[in-house]
């Protein structure tokens, strides 16, 4: 059986992390994480969870924190390779994969040739069971490569420090398989979180080097169209932080 490891890049994710680990448990062969200088309970949560098989710890920053997204991804994939990963599932603490995908993951990996596989990113909005579909929110840009075979070499020609691809160069050259599965992003549910996310990225990328359309759209309510998560496509709502779970009850 092919060995599938999940990889997580983390900084100050105590609110979402335990639920993420819980929803992955039993579906992957382990979790490899990088703790990029967290100042909250992220390290404690990782250390206590048996599904986490390796943690790369980076020191806390002196002054303003600087992301090294490419370096983090390379380090995670190198560690996953050392641990015998045949396939990599890339995700974030504030994401939840639909249960149908997780249940079928082994069969999917067993049937796929050497391809990179993309699934749909659904931005949850106002409620934990509805996502936005108007405009850019429902466009093909929301297909994200999150599942791929471990290549023999791990190089990244790009130096995109925000929103860059998870897949290294050799994987980028593989054919793309679009899978009809969803993962759900939790940090857009509450309006206050959307505003905070907009402001965060505007500070990190004020000249829009890494995203030409900028970030104001993240909190723009114009023309909102929402769809409910259909039956059979749900994620594990029990893994939500309590304050978000309350919005579903």
Q: Residue 248: its pLDDT value, please?
A: 83
More confident call, 114 vs 4:
4
Q: Where are the alpha helices (DSSP H) in the chain?
A: 14-24, 42-48, 69-82, 99-111, 169-172, 191-204, 242-245
Mean local confidence (pLDDT), 217-225:
95
Structure tokens at 53: 């098989």
Q: Residue 124, SS3? A: strand
Tokens for 121, please give them: 């990113």
Under 8 Å CB-to-CB from 120, ≥6 apart: which residues?
Answer: 142, 143, 144, 180, 181, 182, 183
Average pLDDT over residues 26-48: 97
Q: Which residues contact 145 (CB under 8 A, 6 or more apart)?
A: 116, 117, 118, 165, 166, 167, 171, 176
Residue 212: pLDDT over 90: no
65 has a pLDDT exceeding 80 = no
Q: CATH number for the domain including 208?
A: 3.90.550
**pLDDT at 73 (0 to 100):** 92
Q: Is the pLDDT of residue 204 over 90?
A: no
Q: Both ends of the chain: CA-CA distance in Å? A: 39
**pLDDT tens digit sequence for 147-158:** 999 999 998 886
Please tell me the predicted confidence (pLDDT) of residue 161.
62
Give dist(CA 207, CA 29) in Å, integer.
41
**Confidence class for position 210, pLDDT limits 50, 70, 90:** confident
Tokens of 3: 């060995």
CB 31 within 8 A of CB 55: no
Q: How confident is the model at residue 62 (pLDDT cuts 50, 70, 90)?
A: low
pLDDT confidence bin for 63, thresholds 50/70/90: low
Mean pLDDT of 36-52: 96
Burial of 76 (0-12, 13-18, 19+ CB in 10 A): buried
Q: What is the domain range of residue 85?
A: 4-245
Tokens 């599965």, residue located: 181
* pLDDT at 94 > cutoff 70: yes
pLDDT winner (highest mean) among 64-68, 120-124, 168-172: 120-124
Mean pLDDT across the stretch 44-70?
88
Spatial strand order of the sheet with 116-123 comes to 52-58, 31-36, 4-10, 87-91, 143-149, 116-123, 176-185, 95-97
Give the pLDDT mean for 109-135. Answer: 96
Percentage of residues of the chain with pLDDT beyond 70: 96
Which tens digits make up the pLDDT trace of 76-92? 999 999 999 999 999 99
List of residues 6+ apart from 32 with CB closer than 8 A: 5, 6, 7, 8, 52, 53, 54, 55, 56, 76, 79, 80, 83, 85
pTM of the model: 0.94
Measured in degrees and rounded to the nearest 5, phi and psi for residue 192 equal: -60, -35
pLDDT grade for 166, boundaries at 50, 70 and 90: confident
Q: How many domains does the chain have?
A: 1
């Amino acid at each position: 059986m092919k060995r599938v490891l999940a990889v997580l890049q983390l900084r100050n994710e105590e609110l979402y992390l335990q639920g993420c680990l819980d929803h992955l448990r039993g579906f992957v062969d382990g979790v490899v994480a990088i703790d990029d200088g967290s100042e909250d309970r992220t390290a404690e949560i990782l250390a206590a969870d048996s599904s986490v098989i390796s943690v790369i710890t980076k020191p806390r920053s002196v002054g303003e924190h600087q992301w090294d997204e490419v370096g983090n991804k390379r380090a995670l994939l190198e560690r996953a390779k050392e641990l015998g990963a045949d396939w990599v599932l890339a995700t974030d603490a504030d994401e939840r994969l639909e249960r149908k995908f997780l249940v079928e993951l082994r069969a999917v990996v067993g049937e796929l040739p050497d391809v990179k596989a993309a699934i749909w990113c659904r931005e949850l909005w106002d409620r934990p069971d509805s996502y936005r579909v108007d405009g850019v929110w429902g466009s093909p840009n929301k297909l994200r490569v999150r599942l791929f075979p471990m290549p023999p070499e791990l190089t990244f020609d790009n130096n995109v420090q925000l929103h860059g691809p998870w897949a290294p160069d050799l994987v980028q050259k593989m054919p793309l398989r679009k899978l009809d599965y969803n993962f759900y992003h939790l940090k857009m549910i509450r309006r206050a979180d959307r505003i905070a996310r907009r402001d965060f990225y505007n500070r990190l990328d004020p000249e829009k080097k890494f995203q030409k359309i900028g970030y104001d759209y993240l909190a723009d309510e114009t023309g909102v169209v929402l769809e409910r998560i259909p039956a059979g496509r749900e994620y594990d709502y029990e893994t939500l932080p309590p304050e978000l779970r309350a919005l579903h009850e």
